[in-house]
Structure 1
């Protein structure tokens, strides 16, 4: 659903003080369920981002539960590649809002739309950072279930304390929107059975198509494979005219080998992408660290500041993941 003018009329106006400590600056973005506004913490004199539900969707049954699920999941994750949740509170009318770190940049989706296929090293770098985030989540029993380019935010590393002399070739990527995540031991799973929480069809795994509830961390590996494929090829592996046809294709059709669409993709990297897209979860990588180890030789150099958390996650993980080990490719960049 879209955000209507009456909805926006109920968004706190600039200058409004929320919860006695957040002064509204303005709207940063809006979507079907909520709006993100910039605010200033009055005591800390620090700008933050506030995400709040719109009045029209608050009454839609599971939306408040999803909202609280997102806050609960993200707040548990301590990773430089997950958007930090700083606080959770409510407006006077009872609508909940969460306070997040204020980031400057844009979503990966916008980057892909603006540039088309990305250079191999850059595309791999973004997936490596997402793998670092999801390795932390999966260890805590959290499966995202809705990984997609619009849930990846690109920002400058310099904003987070890195000196300008070490400016990275790759932007810092942060994962957000854990609204339909699955938490181990969470008994309130009925929320994820609704259409609104089903996930985004283009990036859904075959097992998620069959059952939104009975998935594990390997469904996130599939989604990461789809995103990497799309960044390299300029098109997703499955593209159909209707949602129904798309779901059937995901469940039954083999994807076009990525080297047919992007011949310069190194063979070991192409094999890793296609393994992430295996229909059978048991044939995919066992976890995101194995996926990361398989594609790491084709990513940014180890001294790139954006790769620090990736290097820490991969300590002790072999890069020989069911395929022939590849030599480090040339540092020469290929621009698509």
Structure 2
């Protein structure tokens, strides 16, 4: 059976492409087809959301003190991105490449470096200059979801569609960049930037148990900016957690990855039954209400992330703990500033809902 369409999506009938591929899935209604007028209250609400996210990282910048005596890393200065991002192999990729020959002529595929529910990721190199890239392969299966986005005549598989939206100017150094993508008979191949040397933020947190507050401040600032950038581009990541960030250990540069669970931003929210993010980062309204919304979900996830960085455990372990939302701090050395930031993130759920 096919999965139920996501909010804003409509089912599409299987179609046969020129290479014999049968494509199925659900198509997101194009934002261009929706009304561009909003009620004054909606406009004020969106402005309040942006102001709130900005206030979170500003609060961390000015009030996040340091009372810990251990340091996870030597470098704690905020990461300052370079003036320009790396040049892309294909700065204006807009067409499907339906065969494997063009990909094989451009890239070499190395060892696997990760896998998940939406595909496997491999190290790779670009043949003409040896540049390292990350190559993600997504199998074509019956329940792939497709999105209809402006500028593309045909629906695109979710991760490709959202990453193309994230490539619109201005770009963010805190979000992974898509270089090129290819469509084959049985899979999609995405070629993305590969920050090196890097590891998942989850591995970094586990290795450096209870990060000191200056380090957590640098990481958290970038996480907030990454999520805010997605919202401004009309993208709801829907799976913000420590494993979906890559971090450079020597500079603390952070990048948000894996948009496979993402959706187009909708002011009407999403049905709780189709929440697709990590259960331990799930906001309480998914269990208590019929709908959840993008910004409150992001705020909740950022709060869980901050807690995990400065405490030796996660704040919630099951559905009951999430709905009760009672937080116990396991790190007695936390400063007042840190506790205040966690309180601000929690209060944000009431501000934006």
- Normalization by structure 2: what TM-score? 0.60
Distance in 2 (CA, whole Å) between partners of 1:64 and 1:41 is 28
Give the match's secondary structure for 2:124. strand
Alpha-carbon deviation of 1:95? 0.9
Contact 1:21–1:41 (Cα < 8 Å) also in 2: yes
1:245-275 CA distance string (max 9 Å, x none): x12221124222x3xx223222132022033
Residue 36 of structure 1 and its aligned partner are, at CA, apart by 0.8
Determine if contact 2:123/2:135 at 8 Å carries over to the other structure.
yes
Matched, 1:123 2:234: no
CA shift for structure 1 position 102: 1.6
CA distance in 1, matches of 2:261, 2:267: 12
Does residue 282 of the first structure (1) align with residue 311 of the second (2)?
A: no
**Runs of 5+ in structure 1 lacking a partner?**
1-15, 158-167, 240-245, 288-336
- CA pair 109-101 structure 1, distance change in 2 beyond 3 A: same
* Alignment partner of 1:254 out of 326, 333, 340: 326
Alignment-derived partner of residue 103 in structure 2: 18
Shift of 1:19: 5.1
Distance 2:290 2:235 in 1: 14
Task: Report what 1:11 is aligned to.
Answer: none
Is the alpha carbon distance of 1:212 and 1:272 closer, same or farther for their aligned partners in structure 2, counting shifts above 3 Å?
A: farther
Report deviation, 1:70. 2.1
Q: CA deviation at 1:21?
A: 1.8
Q: Distance in 2 between matches of 1:122 and 1:201?
A: 26
TM-score normalised to structure 1 length: 0.63
1:20 counterpart SS class: helix
Matched, 1:94 2:178: no
1:139 paired residue number = 232
Bigger strand fraction: 2
Match of 1:294 in 2: none
Give the superposition deviation at 1:17: 7.2
Task: State which of 182, 185, 206 in structure 1 corresponds to 2:263.
Answer: 182
Match of 1:31 among 116, 121, 128: 116
Give the Cα separation in 2 of the matches to 1:143 and 1:134: 8
Quote the residue 2:282 is aligned against.
Answer: 204
Q: Distance in 2 between matches of 1:250 and 1:106?
A: 28
Deviation of 1:50 after TM superposition, in Å, equals 1.0
Distance 1:68 1:213 in 2: 24
Q: Which residue of 1 aligns with 2:176?
A: 83
Distance 1:26 1:233, change over 3 A: closer
Q: Residues 225 and 253 from structure 1, CA distance in 2 versus in 1: closer, same or farther, beyond 3 angstroms?
A: closer
Are 2:240 and 2:302, in contact at CA under 8 Å, matched by a contact in 1? yes
Cα distance in 1, alignment partners of residues 146 and 235 from structure 2 = 19
Any conservation in 1 of the 2:267–2:293 contact (CA below 8 Å)?
A: no
How many residues matched? 242
Q: Is 1:231 equivalent to 2:312 in the alignment?
A: no
Cα displacement string for residues 315-334 of structure 1 (whole angstroms, at most 9, x for unaligned residues): xxxxxxxxxxxxxxxxxxxx
What is the Cα deviation at residue 222 of structure 1?
A: 0.9
Computed over aligned residues only, the root mean square deviation of the Cα atoms, in angstroms, reads: 3.2
Cα deviation, residue 193, structure 1: 5.0
Alignment correspondent of 2:295: 217
Q: Secondary structure at the match of 2:292?
A: coil
Matched-pair contact (CA < 8 Å) for 1:88–1:97: yes
1:41 Cα deviation after fit? 2.2
Q: 2:160 aligns with which of 71, 75, 84?
A: 71
Aligned residues of 1:40 and 1:48 also touching (Cα < 8 A):
yes
